[in-house]
Amino acid sequence: MPRHRHQLPQLRDELFLTDGGLETTLIFDQGLELPGFAAFHLLKDEAGTAALRRYFRAYTALAVQFQTGLILESATWRANADWGHRLGYTDNTLDKANRAAIHLLEELRTELAHHGPVVLSGCVGPRGDGYIASNAMTSEQAASYHHAQVETFAGTAADMVCAITMNYSAEAIGVTRAAQRAGMPVAISFTVETDGRLPTGQSLGDAIQEVDGSTDSYPSYYLLNCAHPSHFEGAFASEPWTARIRGLRANASTKSHAELNESTELDNGNPVELGEHYARLRVGPLPRLNVMGGCCGTDHRHVERIAAACKPIFSA
């Protein structure tokens, strides 16, 4: 059963950790094959499920170590119709895979019975590429497209859904409307480029305000993902929309998306410096930043350094 669906604890001013770059960790660090970057495909057998369980336990251990809240994000970024059908899933088997992903997180939350709040989040990925706004939909088309996955999560123990790597505002609006109709809290995470703008060229502020304006400010909060903090630190002004940003899942690398796409090796960046960037953002332009994890190239070592740099700020 959901524990926090009606009152998300991360909306208080406490530090919450989440995971790093799931797919890049599994592929480059663990040598696993993920066709189409589809981590949910591992749930098809016990060996793959065990690999996901080990991955998430690295982050549950960090939450215990630093005494923080924890958001467990399901391995379902690719578990929507287009990507699932490419891998041979039917609508029925895709539904089962999304449910299995949440069930795995339930097991992990049970292991933390004596720990602080643990939020289960159903991860919703883009219909297309996470970096490129291709085959764009209208907001209503996006709501219809993402409806099935969001409804599946609504029938599980998931406390919320989180749309990660949204790269144009209409799809973000569509996911938000699907969540509204399902009665699920939703967080929206936007992909930004090295100039702090969405891949479409729209400014982050305009995107957040467009989603809020189209949905009566339904998203519980917003996140940034798939960029290094050095790409967007200067993009924030003292405007009301910045208060809507609570989460950050930064890349380990300072390379652009184009450079990363051409890379044959994983760029792990500098975990210590990444943690320092997060701390500066929290005490500077993003004072409500309290949901902290990583994206491409990051793993538990990066999140550990983020927690070490930021935990004292919350304890002060």
* Whole-structure pTM value: 0.96
Residue from 4, 30, 41 nearest 120 by CA: 4
Full domain range(s) for residue 118 = 9-315
Asked if residue 1 belongs to a domain, the reply is no
Interval 25-32 mean pLDDT: 94
* DSSP-based three-state secondary structure for 45: coil
pLDDT confidence of residue 26: 96
* Inside any domain, residue 306: yes
Asked, for residue 257, whether it belongs to a domain, the answer is yes
Sorted by sequence, the CB contacts under 8 Å of residue 21 that are 6+ apart come out as: 251, 252, 294, 295, 296, 297, 298, 299
pLDDT tens readout for residues 159-183: 999 999 999 999 999 999 999 999 9
Asked if residue 2 belongs to a domain, the reply is: no
pLDDT attached to residue 236: 79
From 272, 304, 267, select the one nearest 28 (Cα to Cα): 267
How many domains is the chain built from?
1
Q: Give the chain's mean pLDDT.
A: 94
In this structure, is residue 182 part of a structural domain?
yes
Binned at pLDDT 50, 70 and 90, residue 248 comes out as very high
User: 278 near 37, Cβ under 8 Å?
Assistant: no
When mean pLDDT is compared across 39-53, 60-74, 231-245, the lowest value belongs to: 231-245
Q: How far apart are CA 276 and CA 292, in angstroms?
A: 12
Q: Is residue 227 part of a domain?
A: yes
> Residue 20 maps to which CATH number?
3.20.20.330
pLDDT at 275 over 60: yes
Q: Using alpha carbons only, what angle is made at residue 229 by residues 223 and 235, rounded to the nearest 5 degrees?
A: 80
pLDDT band, very low/low/confident/very high, at 129 (cuts 50, 70, 90):
confident
Residue 104 lies in a domain: yes
Q: What is the pLDDT of residue 238?
A: 75
Q: Is the pLDDT of residue 208 over 70?
A: yes
State how far the Cα of 79 lies from the Cα of 286, in Å rounded to an integer.
31
